[in-house]
Structure 1
């Protein structure tokens, strides 16, 4: 359970004492939780309660006392008070370990145990307060109150974090996927998708989340390829001696649930299992297993079921073993209708089509955690996580699309399945070396497969009342297979040394030393089967299999080829990436005075990245090996000043870097359902310089106000852009010499009222608000091959104004507990892609969101109602107009609504 807090530091709570006093130090452990550290325990002298301290989040404490006999009192809510008599000798140090037990009669009512603390809002705010770094975390308790269903939803509830439509992952302070990193229990996770660096956060349902931490300020013990934030998902653990619960949820989308003839892709079963390989070995034999034509169904009900449980065992030798496991199944549907448009550089619309989109997602998840505690102070933990996620999308577009004849219309149907699997294996060890030294080790092996089995794309020409497969290009009718496999190994180690510097009057300091490594191998291949239609033939677009079949291949109505052409046609397009990172780090925490702490750090990181590719772009066979090999020196400095116990100021400065991803430097053209992209082997890595200043004031349990200012300078910033000479295709480039970002984040949490009701239940109304302002600017390299339209621009995905707020009511009702929350969010217009070759930027328009969540718990039963996207605002992408164009007005290039989502969940805990 300590992985999330590998980067947190010991709370220094010792005032300056005379050299004649003695020292009592040690660790406080929770007997009922397998001797887990117990944080926030009050320790004081029974004769003088002004002499005291508090255990830190690792359960460590230290107190100075005058020589003589003292009785120390150890107190924590819901635990039996422990009194320990000690004899203190001048200038001597004693180590005493205290084991505390929960009060038996109150155990079920206590929520702030050492384990549950890491899920509760109050405890995580306390962690934020006591840490030296700038840290933010959102726990399972707050996620439940706000109706959040996955890690992505958790992250976007925090200040300065948002999600861009059409993009899988989040933006932190305007920096997207390539600038962020994702870890699971402190160890890195790979991506399942060749388009992205990070795995999709929505794969991680709240069933497996204890809390999600967002570290926006770099510290030297995390990998240096991060410019925005490191997002760490801490897995759920057993919160008692045993646990068993089941849950079931049903719901629907207002636009989807009663949609008749909802289209689904042939070849995928109800839980998303589909064969990923192709059987074609002879271009004269049309032998596809799946039909081109989609299937249809009625009444699309979203549903999920989950089971979670675990148990703890005490062995005869005093050691303890525990396990916890979660299994879940889910499926959901979404139908959307809208428009897509495109325009020429002079602003004239040359594509104007109505679009129907049918999306279906099915996933299965299995998580298990095994823990063995031995020798009182050591433990080993094994985590495994298996996620299978299958998503399918059918997109039908009808209307004008750059016609040869003004009367021509087009019908385009694209059917895409993404079948992804992630297997995570982690072995974590926490070892006691001495009273002043601990060792943490972590080893992970991750395997990812990401496949697109049999993506089908067909374009039909509608001319003079006749519908025909469009014969203009063989690529207009294709069946596409991709296969990605990635093996990822990571190791991390950290040893700390706690000691007193007698020359500084006993002030405590801590040195952390460690090294880590990561080795990743990715293999990607793709085969594209194209149909070269030989003329105009009248067809039924809903019965394409009547045309694309063996008979019409034999009679010459269409030809059959692959993207490779006639030379070795079944050889796939490939790129094979390898990345090796070896890091060494040191952090030295020094308490200059009772109120002032500094924490300098230094990280060295050797990076070796290469991509070997063999692809076909624009009919030219390319083979090459772009390589990046560099040693980075990454300094950091963290300072914390406590003006009072509740008024705290922090400052952080650091340097990091950003590598191009495998896909971004491999010149392989990747065709998605709504866009195409290809890599650029000439990409350079970015260097990032980061500064954060934060002030915080705490005025109650989980009540605080904070203001953070930040500044970033990015050398050689990377962004996606329109590719010259390839309409509708995106690529990646270094925008210019540097980009700057600066802004402010404001956060406020307050109980508007609170009173104790029956059985001392706290009835309360809470308000939360976080808001951010961001300014970004890039001076574009107008002499580059990208041919930028403008000389300056905001960064892609940078959101100038972002607001999240919620109002939450907790109250007793009919012997149970009801929690209701209204959640509001807003983001302003932001750049979606940067314009080149005469096109202006595409902007994602602002969106206002409103959700309502209410849950009721009575005994072992729980019921939850969620209503999301109540306002159902339009989701729009707009290409900005350009002065001097024939049509200088903005052009809406995409416009649709997501619909209102409602669900009801029922749970039972045994």
Structure 2
């Protein structure tokens, strides 16, 4: 090929590309009777090409096409389609507006979504909610950006009936095993060896697209359902090239530039990475337990890092950096490739100074037992990366891949000082702890549409995830002061080192087929999810073997110096039999769901899911003596029926109802007999291999009205009956140790109210103001029956359930100035944090009134500033037994400044 010929070809190709970008068909689709825009309706080229687009939220569409002649089909489900033949495209766009007629006897509220609604926006989420067959509430990245929330765990509390207890999400007053979390439809495992909560703080807001709480059950969901399912959808690739850089700096009134507890760590602590200095020494025998008589006992004892004490250092400001880039490349014949890559790093310091008291009861009065103060300092580090890419083979087929990596670390030092009735003396104790958690989630998804109208849809996905949790070298130390003399106390959880490793690997796949059979819309599918967990821990205690008790009064580093190791102190293995367990879970399911339009206003969706679940767990550490605990091996088959109905009261108002029968299964941690020590409350927590699954009846009713695309008003209620609910209860009246038991039954009854509206309804001058509020009132009662054990109350509210939860937000938007100001308020009612035992009353966490503010200002077309303040009322967290405070601390006020730069 000659040079001139090559140039001609390049010019022709360039001309075609330019023509394709600047020519095509555009227009507007509306209802021929009402004039309402038709949303998310396909516009398909059926001759002359193979391209499909959907109308947007205003009913507009734009179909880029190179010059030529085409046959185009315009249609919406339940509307009479229109084929327009011989559409000639030259240079520029041809305008074609159409009004489609509803099919007689059709259900006019139904819309079949062929593409994706923009669920990042508030209007897109409300549209999705209006079209859904189930009761659900959502917030998207647009709403999250108005708050000071930094991760999914913070943001979810803005959803109606959602609260956050520690790291645990409670939905409708139900947490733990009753509140499942999924990522892109896949159940998310916990990285906490002592809990069951999904690691929501591993998801920074920069990676989030939407948070959706589905409150009524549908068969395509996993059967472990009670309070609801929190669905996390990660960001997808943008329609055009985007690049963002976000840098933030923050301060907390309790920790930033204030003295806080810390200790000498490793060289990479600034990045939240242990450099190996906390690792189990290589000299520790790996084939046998370490004993005092071991020939290598002295050498091994000297190899442990001799850092036991905390010190005070100044807290640095909090900071984060996020970088993301994405684009979509459009090619001919409807082919396209899109991608999004994002990386984030954050680091923050916290300081918590708490007052703690414990009581004994005499008659009807509480009498002080232990009283001490706690100083806690921590540095948290988070790193995350996301890569999402999709390829559209043609308008009917696309596949996408998601790779998500997130890692967090917390380095903490804790110092307690006070008096203990248990020890009969004054005491001070120290705990040094470094914990790491990692999540790797990988998913491949595909969507395939069949038929000329694309109404038959096959969706599938496969996933592999790995979670790790490390706790290398947690150190506990206790000194008692007796008659003015401070001495090391040789006892459990004193002079001890703890090392643990958890790994959970999960993989599975799902597939579903949606198709029409006459007036019915069916969805059938199956799923398989397998997971394997291994947990291993070792404990070592430094024991006094010398003959000079004066050494016990020395500071820890001097007392346990190399000179004293051997003649005065030696390390001995104290690993429990329950410090190692291996577990496997398998879940196989099949489901069928049918949507039935019973009239032009009523549609009913009914179906059933059949789940076969098996769980195996074996425990027993080779570094401990005795017979291993009994293994757990259980399997169940559960049919799970569900029915949801939607009645269109008007074109903008729905009445919803639903019933389902679901289960709540115990997690690995709850059935594993592993014993974990809670240093703050000085007690142990253990699992129970005899737990059985809970069964739940769920009933819902909701009225909702969507006056505009940005407004909603709803009133709803729900009732739940639990059989064999799993609860964390006190199992030892001496130390207040905790465990898990099945209660006899429980009931929960709730009322939910929500409203979002523009104040422009009242006056045009108030149109920049929008107000949103939601309120949940929940009453529950649990009956312990024969499982009461040493619990004080036989009937009480569910643990962790708040009787009310309220959110209010006011947003002022001035587009001309590029300004958005939001004021947010959140409060929850007092809730049981600890179940009372041995006649002691229940411990309640008191209401917390949180006021936050967020100001976003556009400085230029490429630069945006965001200022936030959290807990502006400087509220305290308080726990009470009767009228006595048992735990009290100040989380402080946090202010943050974030700069977002869009370089292109």
TM-score (norm 2): 0.85
Shift of residue 377, structure 1, vs aligned partner: 1.4
Q: Are residues 228 and 14 of structure 1, via their aligned partners in 2, closer, same or farther at CA, if it must alter by over 3 Å?
A: farther
Q: Is 1:117 aligned to 2:118, yes or no?
A: yes
* Equivalent in the alignment of 2:506: 488
Shift of residue 266, structure 1, vs aligned partner: 1.6
* Equivalent in the alignment of 2:630: 624
- Distance in 2 (alpha carbons) for counterparts of 1:207 and 1:478: 40
Q: Relative to structure 2, which stretch is displaced further, 238-247 or 685-694? A: 238-247
| Superimposed CA distance per residue, residues 544-592 of structure 1 (whole angstroms, 9 cap, x where no aligned partner) | 2221233222122x33211148xxxxx9921111110001001000111
* Equivalent in the alignment of 2:6: none
Q: Is 1:702 aligned to 2:702, yes or no?
A: no
* Equivalent in the alignment of 1:414: 431
Contact kept? 1:415, 1:673, Cα under 8 Å: no
Match for 2:691 among 674, 683, 686? 683
- Distance in 1 (alpha carbons) for counterparts of 2:412 and 2:789: 32
| Superimposed CA distance per residue, residues 764-796 of structure 1 (whole angstroms, 9 cap, x where no aligned partner) | 101110001010001122x33722212211100
Which aligned pairs between 1:630-645 and structure 2 lie closer than 5 A? 630-645=636-651
Match for 2:338 among 305, 317, 322? 322
Shift of residue 290, structure 1, vs aligned partner: 6.2
Q: Are residues 843 and 85 of structure 1, via their aligned partners in 2, closer, same or farther at CA, if it must alter by over 3 Å?
A: closer
Which aligned pairs between 1:455-604 and structure 2 lie closer than 5 A? 455-471=474-490, 473-499=491-517, 501=518, 508-533=519-544, 536-537=549-550, 544-556=556-568, 558-564=569-575, 573-604=579-610
Q: Relative to structure 2, which stretch is displaced further, 274-283 or 387-396? A: 274-283
Match for 2:410 among 385, 391, 413? 391
- Distance in 2 (alpha carbons) for counterparts of 1:531 and 1:60: 77
* Equivalent in the alignment of 1:805: 808
Q: Are residues 317 and 808 of structure 1, via their aligned partners in 2, closer, same or farther at CA, if it must alter by over 3 Å?
A: closer
| Superimposed CA distance per residue, residues 241-270 of structure 1 (whole angstroms, 9 cap, x where no aligned partner) | 211110100011001112135414523611
| Superimposed CA distance per residue, residues 832-859 of structure 1 (whole angstroms, 9 cap, x where no aligned partner) | 1212233221111111111111111131
Shift of residue 316, structure 1, vs aligned partner: 6.5
Which aligned pairs between 1:445-460 and structure 2 lie closer than 5 A? 445-460=464-479
Equivalent position SS for 1:807 = strand
Shift of residue 234, structure 1, vs aligned partner: 0.7
Shift of residue 154, structure 1, vs aligned partner: 2.1
Which aligned pairs between 1:832-847 and structure 2 lie closer than 5 A? 832-847=833-848
Equivalent position SS for 2:130 = helix
Q: Are residues 784 and 127 of structure 1, via their aligned partners in 2, closer, same or farther at CA, if it must alter by over 3 Å?
A: closer
Contact kept? 1:589, 1:599, Cα under 8 Å: yes
Equivalent position SS for 1:178 = helix
Equivalent position SS for 1:655 = strand
Structure 2 unmatched ranges of 5 or more: 1-29, 34-39, 46-50, 62-73, 88-92, 106-111, 286-295
- Distance in 1 (alpha carbons) for counterparts of 2:203 and 2:394: 34
- Distance in 1 (alpha carbons) for counterparts of 2:604 and 2:613: 29
Contact kept? 2:733, 2:837, Cα under 8 Å: no
- Distance in 1 (alpha carbons) for counterparts of 2:837 and 2:624: 20
Structure 1 unmatched ranges of 5 or more: 1-12, 17-24, 45-58, 74-78, 92-97, 101-113, 502-507, 566-570, 881-889
Equivalent position SS for 2:411 = strand
Match for 1:614 among 613, 620, 634? 620
- Distance in 2 (alpha carbons) for counterparts of 1:439 and 1:43: 27
* Equivalent in the alignment of 1:238: 237
Match for 1:62 among 77, 84, 99? 77
Contact kept? 2:747, 2:782, Cα under 8 Å: yes
Q: Are residues 728 and 81 of structure 1, via their aligned partners in 2, closer, same or farther at CA, if it must alter by over 3 Å?
A: farther
- Distance in 1 (alpha carbons) for counterparts of 2:887 and 2:122: 39
| Superimposed CA distance per residue, residues 330-371 of structure 1 (whole angstroms, 9 cap, x where no aligned partner) | 000111212111122433222100111101100100001011
Which aligned pairs between 1:140-219 and structure 2 lie closer than 5 A? 140-164=141-165, 167-219=166-218
- Distance in 2 (alpha carbons) for counterparts of 1:87 and 1:424: 46
Q: Are residues 121 and 261 of structure 1, via their aligned partners in 2, closer, same or farther at CA, if it must alter by over 3 Å?
A: closer
- Distance in 2 (alpha carbons) for counterparts of 1:14 and 1:217: 31
Q: Tell me how large the CA RMSD over aligned residues is.
A: 3.4
Q: Are residues 358 and 621 of structure 1, via their aligned partners in 2, closer, same or farther at CA, if it must alter by over 3 Å?
A: farther
Equivalent position SS for 2:271 = coil
- Distance in 2 (alpha carbons) for counterparts of 1:617 and 1:838: 39
Match for 2:760 among 735, 753, 777? 753
Contact kept? 2:616, 2:634, Cα under 8 Å: yes
Shift of residue 402, structure 1, vs aligned partner: 1.9
- Distance in 1 (alpha carbons) for counterparts of 2:899 and 2:31: 48
- Distance in 2 (alpha carbons) for counterparts of 1:466 and 1:577: 48
Equivalent position SS for 1:796 = coil
Match for 1:775 among 772, 779, 782? 779
Q: Is 1:896 aligned to 2:892, yes or no?
A: no
* Equivalent in the alignment of 2:849: 848
Q: Is 1:647 aligned to 2:653, yes or no?
A: yes
- Distance in 2 (alpha carbons) for counterparts of 1:616 and 1:538: 33
- Distance in 2 (alpha carbons) for counterparts of 1:581 and 1:609: 9
* Equivalent in the alignment of 2:318: 302
* Equivalent in the alignment of 2:19: none
* Equivalent in the alignment of 1:873: 875
- Distance in 1 (alpha carbons) for counterparts of 2:448 and 2:433: 48
Shift of residue 800, structure 1, vs aligned partner: 0.4
Contact kept? 1:580, 1:608, Cα under 8 Å: yes
Equivalent position SS for 2:901 = strand
- Distance in 1 (alpha carbons) for counterparts of 2:156 and 2:205: 12
- Distance in 2 (alpha carbons) for counterparts of 1:895 and 1:72: 76
| Superimposed CA distance per residue, residues 366-418 of structure 1 (whole angstroms, 9 cap, x where no aligned partner) | 0010111102211110001100100122111111012554xx31001112221
- Distance in 2 (alpha carbons) for counterparts of 1:587 and 1:878: 48
- Distance in 1 (alpha carbons) for counterparts of 2:849 and 2:766: 32
TM-score (norm 1): 0.84
Q: Is 1:313 aligned to 2:319, yes or no?
A: no
* Equivalent in the alignment of 1:106: none
Equivalent position SS for 2:629 = strand
- Distance in 2 (alpha carbons) for counterparts of 1:393 and 1:324: 35
* Equivalent in the alignment of 1:374: 393
